[in-house]
Amino acid sequence: MAPYEEKSGVSPSTVAEPEVKSKPFVSVKNVLFATDFSATSDAALPYAAAICRRFGSTLHIFHVLSEASLLMMTGGVDYVSMGTIYDDAQNEAKERLEQSCARLEGIPHRTYVRYGQVWSTLARVLAENDIDLIVLGTHGRTGLGKLLLGSVAEDILRLAACPVLTIGPKVSGHAKLPAVPEHGHDVAPPELELRQVLCATNFGKNSNAVAEAAIALAEEFRSRFTLLHVIEDYTQLGRKPAPMEEGIRRLQELIPRDSTLQYAPDLLLEFGPAPERILKVATDREADMIVLGARSSAEVGTSHFPWSSAHYVIAQAHCPVLTIRE
């Protein structure tokens, strides 16, 4: 079934002409970049750095030494050797973090090498530093795949109170930022440019807050903005009120009256499996970022994107995905 689209407000051509003063994006004072030193993590560093440059944020670079990873390194040797391996691993991690920091000219930053269970260790760093945003690189295999020497990316997405920006393995085109230049190289640092922001909503209980964050992001970057809802249940199309009319009405209600978007927002209904349709719209519109609201670990029901859907979008998207816990 063909999508149903509606423009909200005046046409983009009439909105784009005047100089519109954008409102500031939600405060991004502290950004945490979690790394396991893999190529996947390295691909996410330019986004963390670009965000910090844009908003004047402090970058917190986090690495954890887990017991499981150290045991694998020891091969089951005694505790004396275990202590030596821990010291070696800690020193190596600190050295690699220093190498990363050398490429962050002008960005205030702090580094953390911690030992323990990944989420509980990370949670303390998040709380101690009032982190506003987490940036992660993810693999595309087995859901979100392995991250931070363990399969913990899902824990971070489920449990972190702040938004999480994930950079998947298929990010490409103009949405893909080049690597942060080596220290001393005469190369301009990468800048984040968002020309098209796509926000997908399932009308969850905090969908207003998710839409507001996505709209504020589009306002900050003067981006085009698409608000999408996917209707998966075809059996209800004949009932009253008509699902399409109701869907557009609910999308319209998510656009604040005082919005200062540079372009009139596009309101779009799609039909079919939600993850597939979200990715199709993102590809067709060359989205630079997808914004999703997803339920917390304690919530159930059909009013939120299930984590399986969020995982699929994150792993397959050709642009970064910003997940905001509902």
- pTM for the full predicted model: 0.83
Mean pLDDT over residues 20-32, rounded?
A: 66
Mean pLDDT over residues 172-179, rounded?
A: 90
Which ranges of the chain would DSSP assign to H, the alpha helix? 12-16, 39-55, 67-74, 79-101, 118-128, 153-159, 207-221, 243-253, 274-284, 307-316
pLDDT at res. 143: 41
Residue 302, burial from CB neighbour count under 10 angstroms (0-12, 13-18, 19+): exposed
Mean pLDDT over residues 177-184, rounded?
A: 75
In this structure, are residues 281 and 226 in contact, taking their beta carbons and an 8 Å threshold? yes
Distance CA 254, CA 264 (A): 14
Query: At 147, is the pLDDT very low, low, confident or very high (cuts 50, 70, 90)?
Result: very low
Q: Which residue has the higher pLDDT, 117 or 236?
A: 117
Residue 10 has pLDDT above 60, yes or no: no
> Any idea how long the chain is?
326
Distance CA 101, CA 60 (A): 10
State the SS3 of 187-224: CCCCCCCCCEEEEECCCCCCHHHHHHHHHHHHHHHCCE
The SS3 of residue 28 is: coil
For residue 230, report the phi and psi dihedrals to the nearest 5 degrees: -105, 125
For the ranges 95-104, 130-139, 143-152, 206-215, which has the lowest average pLDDT? 143-152
* 316 Cα distance to chain centroid: 13
For the ranges 8-12, 135-139, 237-241, 267-271, which has the lowest average pLDDT? 8-12
In this structure, are residues 187 and 181 in contact, taking their beta carbons and an 8 Å threshold? yes
In sequence order, what DSSP letters do the residues of 240-269 get, joined into one string? Answer: SS-HHHHHHHHHHHTS-TT---SSPPEEEE
Residue 199 has pLDDT above 70, yes or no: yes
* 63 Cα distance to chain centroid: 19
Residue 106 has pLDDT above 90, yes or no: no
Which residue segments constitute the domains of the chain, with CATH numbers given? 4-23+190-325 (3.40.50.620), 30-175 (3.40.50.620)
Mean pLDDT over residues 79-106, rounded?
A: 77
Tokens of 130: 């009032």
Tokens of 282: 């993102």
Mean pLDDT over residues 134-145, rounded?
A: 68
In this structure, are residues 48 and 31 in contact, taking their beta carbons and an 8 Å threshold? yes
Orientation angle between helical segments 79-101 and 67-74, nearest 10 degrees: 120
Nearest Cα neighbor of 323 from 186, 158, 206 is: 158
